[in-house]
């Protein structure tokens, strides 16, 4: 691989250093391989449709004129609430993410494996903040079997009382937000941290009646965080009535629980009737606790209800089937393309097979690394994109080869045909790949969910195609043009006079059209 060759005067720039270009490509490949090992990215992350799992897309449900309620904060809060619920399933690699923009934001939950309906039930429920009067509170543990429950206060049914007695809030599984509580029911619930358990009266004030909430520090003492909250007009009335009624009652009936998703976030004692519409919650809060509570009050105050937009449940069996089908289609497609290249282009076909191999290994290593770096997951649609790209990649070689053959037909030597053909093919290849990239970018922007993977791999492999054509196919052809097998037009080189249909006498090499 000498580097001293310089092409005909027209083409000096592109032909000068085929060896160097190839060496750089080899370095890049080695660097990528090293990165793969250093990052220990040894397997491609597979999407749920290839390994089985459940994905649920949730859409905010909005009454007319409520579009302003879908804010970033509201969505983030919803994501964190749902993430807590999903994490309670204990399935590794579960993901909860927000997608889209504006009022069309969605929350996408994906949980691998066989969890099907549990996921769907768990995430589909609405989280709404409610203020409920505490009727009974007590230690978190279950009352020992056989012990008669304490006499229920007025209005609490014996059944509810029994449920309360049996409830064990020290168990983490009982502290999942179920969201199944009805605002009009008397409910039994745990403290969020499992510190105590409660029987709670029907909700009297709802989260959406809170207009503001913030954490603040006592200015005079400099310590002692508290939470300030302000109600809207209807909230002021309702909260005023509630506090006026309970403040004189005996503990724990003078406490009002702040309940989110069926769990008691906090149950402050009401010291006085609060009719002004602004209240303070004091206690021995740390800064973080105060801010958390304020956040719950603020965002829980946004009643973002969600609809199941789409639920997709794929069993691991189907996942494995789809993976096999995808791989089979890939190998079949690759095999056919290689076969056709070799049959039609013979010696040149070897170049195209080599280029495909380089492109394939680049793509594979990038899939591995992108899985580590940006969490790229390969889906069935992604595999399809990569297979389609085999054709697009091979097309670039054909455009180039046909150009070279045209130039040879015009009477050029192979050496100069490789260079002049390149100048003309290069433009076509760039324009064509650019069109593919536009397509991929737009598809990525407009596609939802799984099919996005198609656009991503299509775009990525088109980019790889450009790299391979520039850094491998062209330089290698420059090098091969110096080998007698190709330059003399050997019968198997794909450049023989017979292959090209050149009738020697009919094509005097000196005559050329401008």
Partner 1 sequence: MSKFSGLGGRLYRGETSVDFIGKRRRWYAFSGVLILASAIALSVSGLHLGIEFKGGSAFTVTKTDISVTDAQAAVAATGIAGETIIQKIGTNKVRVQTGALSVADSNAIQDALAAKFGITTDSIDTQIVGPSWGKEITRKALYGLFGFLIVVLLYLAMAFEPKMAIAAIIAVIHDVFITVGIYALVGFDVTPATVIGFLTILGYSLYDTVVVFDKVRENTRTITSTSKMTYSQAANLAVNQTLVRSFNTSLIALLPVGSILFVGAGLLGAGTLKDLSLALFIGLATGTYSSIFIATPILARLREREPAMQALSKRVSTRSTTPASSATKTAEGAPVATVATMEKRGPRNQPKRDRRR
Site for partner 1 in 194-253 (CB under 8 A): none
Provide the mask over 382-401, with x wherever binding to partner 1 is found by CB under 8 A and - wherever it is not.
--x--xx-xxx-xx--xx--
> 130, 405, 412, 474: which one contacts partner 1 (CB under 8 A)?
405
Cα–Cα distances (Å) from 488 to 481, 482, 485, 495, 510, in that order, read 9, 9, 6, 8, 19
Q: Which of 57, 133, 209, 473 binds partner 1 (CB under 8 A)?
A: 57
d(CA 107, CA 306): 9
* 439 contacts partner 1 (rule: CB under 8 A): yes
Q: How far is the CB of 313 from partner 1 (least distance, A)?
A: 4
Nearer to partner 1, 22 or 458 (CB): 458
Find the shortest distance in angstroms from Cβ 259 to partner 1: 23
Is residue 423 at the binding interface for partner 1, with CB under 8 A as the rule? Answer: no
* Burial (CB count <10 Å: 0-12, 13-18, 19+), residue 304: buried
| Residue 451 neighbours by CB under 8 Å, 6+ apart | 381, 443
Stretch that binds partner 1, among 134-142, 259-267, 361-369, 376-384 (CB under 8 A): 376-384
Is 139 a binder of partner 1 (CB under 8 A)? no
Q: How far is the CB of 443 from partner 1 (least distance, A)?
A: 6
**Closest to 417 measured CA to CA, from 514, 465, 489:** 489
By CB under 8 A, name the one of 10, 20, 182, 512 that touches partner 1. Answer: 512
Q: Write down the least CB distance from residue 89 to partner 1, Å.
A: 13
Q: Which of residues 277-306 bind partner 1 (CB under 8 A)?
A: none
Rounded to a whole number of angstroms, the minimum distance from the CB of residue 279 to partner 1 is: 37
Question: Among residues 243, 95, 81, which one has the least CA distance to residue 178?
Answer: 81
Find the binder of partner 1 among 30, 442, 483, 485 (CB under 8 A): 442
Contact 388, 371 (CB under 8 A): no
Among 15, 94, 313, 493, binds partner 1 (CB under 8 A): 313
Segment interacting with partner 1, rule: CB under 8 A, options 26-34, 198-206, 294-302, 404-412: 404-412
Per-position b or e across 353-392, b if 16+ CB within 10 A of its CB: bebbebbbebbebbbbbbbeeeebbbbbbbbbbbbbbbee
**Peptide linkage before 37 cis (omega within 30 of 0):** no
Q: In sequence order, what DSSP letters do the residues of 289-313 get, joined into one string?
A: HHHHHHHHHHHTTS--EEEEEEEEE
Which of 10, 13, 182, 427 contacts partner 1 by CB under 8 A? 427
**Least separation, in Å, of the C-beta of 488 and partner 1?**
17
Rounded to a whole number of angstroms, the minimum distance from the CB of residue 224 to partner 1 is 46
Host H or E run for residue 264: strand 263-266
Tell me: does residue 320 bind partner 1 (CB under 8 A): no
Touching partner 1, residues 95-134 (CB under 8 A): 104, 114-117, 120, 124
Please identify, using beta-carbon distances, which residue of 148 and 511 lies nearer to partner 1.
Answer: 511
Q: With respect to partner 1, which residue has the nearer C-beta, 131 or 456?
A: 456
Residue 134: CB minimum distance to partner 1, A: 32
One of 11, 110, 254, 322 touching partner 1 (CB under 8 A): 322
Q: Which helix (H) or strand (E) holds 258?
A: strand 256-260
Position among 199, 256, 279, 380 found at the interface with partner 1 (CB under 8 A): 380
340 binds partner 1 (CB under 8 A): yes
What is the CA angle 432-433-435, rounded to 5?
Answer: 65
Residues in 445-504 at the binding interface with partner 1, rule: CB under 8 A: 445-451, 454-455, 458, 498-502
Q: What are the residues whose beta carbons fall under 8 Å from the beta carbon of 198, sequence distance 6 or more?
A: 134, 135, 136, 137, 138, 188, 189, 190, 191, 252, 257, 264, 267
Report d(CA 462, CA 240) in Å as an integer. 65
Query: Is the separation of the CB atoms in 391 and 433 below 8 Å?
Result: no
Q: Give least dist CB 161 to partner 1, A.
A: 29
Give the number of residues in contact with partner 1, rule: CB under 8 A.
89
The residue from 43, 144, 221, 513 that contacts partner 1 (CB under 8 A) is: 513
Report the nearest approach of partner 1 to the CB of residue 311 (Å).
Answer: 4
Binds partner 1 by CB under 8 A, chosen from 79, 423, 479, 507: 507
Q: What angle do CA 450, 454, 460 make, to 5 degrees?
A: 135
Strands, sheet with 278-285, edge to edge from the N-terminal-most edge strand: 210-217, 225-231, 278-285
**Residue 461's closest CA among 428, 482, 439?**
439
Q: State in angstroms the smallest separation of the CB of 350 from partner 1.
A: 16
Helix (H) or strand (E) holding 138, with range, is strand 129-138
Residue 377 makes contact with partner 1 by CB under 8 A = no
Q: For the CB of residue 305, give the shortest distance to partner 1 in the complex, in Å.
A: 12
- What are phi and psi for residue 182, nearest 5 degrees? -95, 140
Applying CB under 8 A, which of residues 1, 31, 318, 483 lies at the interface with partner 1? 318
* 143: CB partners within 8 A, 6+ apart: 149, 165, 166
């Amino acid at each position: 691989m000498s580097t001293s060759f310089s092409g005909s005067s027209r083409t000096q720039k592109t032909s000068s250093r085929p060896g160097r270009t190839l060496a750089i490509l080899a370095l890049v490949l080695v660097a990528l391989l090293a990165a793969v090992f250093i990052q220990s990215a040894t397997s491609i992350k597979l999407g749920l449709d290839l390994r089985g799992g459940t994905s649920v897309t949730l859409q905010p449900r909005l009454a007319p004129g409520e579009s302003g309620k879908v804010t970033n904060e509201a969505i983030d809060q919803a994501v964190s609430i749902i993430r807590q619920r999903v994490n309670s399933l204990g399935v590794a690699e579960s993901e909860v993410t927000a997608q889209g923009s504006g009022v069309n934001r969605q929350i996408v939950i994906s949980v691998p494996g066989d969890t099907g309906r549990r996921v769907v039930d768990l995430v589909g429920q609405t989280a709404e903040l409610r203020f409920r009067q505490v009727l009974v509170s007590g230690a978190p543990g279950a009352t020992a079997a056989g012990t008669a429950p304490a006499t229920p206060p007025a209005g609490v049914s014996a059944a509810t009382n029994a449920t309360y007695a049996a409830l064990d809030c020290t168990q983490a599984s009982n502290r999942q937000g179920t969201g199944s509580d009805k605002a009009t029911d008397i409910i039994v619930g745990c403290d969020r941290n499992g510190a105590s358990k409660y029987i709670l009266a029907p909700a009297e004030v709802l989260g959406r009646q809170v207009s503001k909430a913030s954490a603040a520090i006592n200015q005079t003492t400099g310590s002692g965080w508290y939470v300030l909250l302000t109600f809207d007009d209807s909230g002021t009335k309702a909260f005023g009535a509630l506090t006026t009624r309970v403040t004189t009652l005996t503990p724990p009936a003078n406490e009002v629980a702040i309940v989110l998703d069926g769990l008691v976030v906090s149950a402050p004692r009401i010291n006085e009737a609060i009719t002004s519409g602004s209240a303070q919650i004091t206690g021995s809060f740390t800064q973080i606790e105060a801010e958390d509570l304020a956040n719950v009050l603020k965002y829980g105050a946004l009643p973002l209800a969600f609809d199941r937009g789409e639920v997709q449940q794929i069993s691991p069996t189907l996942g494995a089937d789809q993976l096999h089908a995808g791989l089979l289609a890939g190998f079949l497609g690759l095999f056919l393309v290689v076969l056709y290249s070799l049959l039609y282009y013979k010696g040149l076909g070897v170049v195209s097979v080599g280029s495909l191999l380089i492109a394939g290994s680049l793509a594979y290593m990038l899939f591995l690394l992108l899985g580590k770096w940006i969490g790229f997951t390969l889906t069935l649609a992604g595999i399809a994109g990569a297979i389609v790209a085999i054709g697009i990649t091979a097309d670039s070689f054909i455009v180039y080869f046909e150009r070279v053959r045209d130039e040879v037909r015009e009477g050029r030597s192979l050496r100069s045909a490789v260079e002049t053909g390149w100048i003309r093919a290069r433009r076509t290849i760039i324009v064509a790949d650019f069109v593919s990239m536009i397509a991929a970018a737009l598809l990525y922007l407009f596609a939802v969910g799984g099919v996005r993977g198609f656009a991503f791999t299509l775009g990525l492999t088109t980019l790889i195609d450009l790299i391979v054509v520039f850094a491998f196919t062209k330089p290698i052809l420059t090098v091969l043009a110096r080998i007698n097998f190709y330059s003399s037009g050997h019968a198997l080189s794909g450049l023989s006079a017979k292959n090209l249909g050149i009738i020697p006498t009919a094509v005097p090499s000196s005559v050329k059209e401008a």
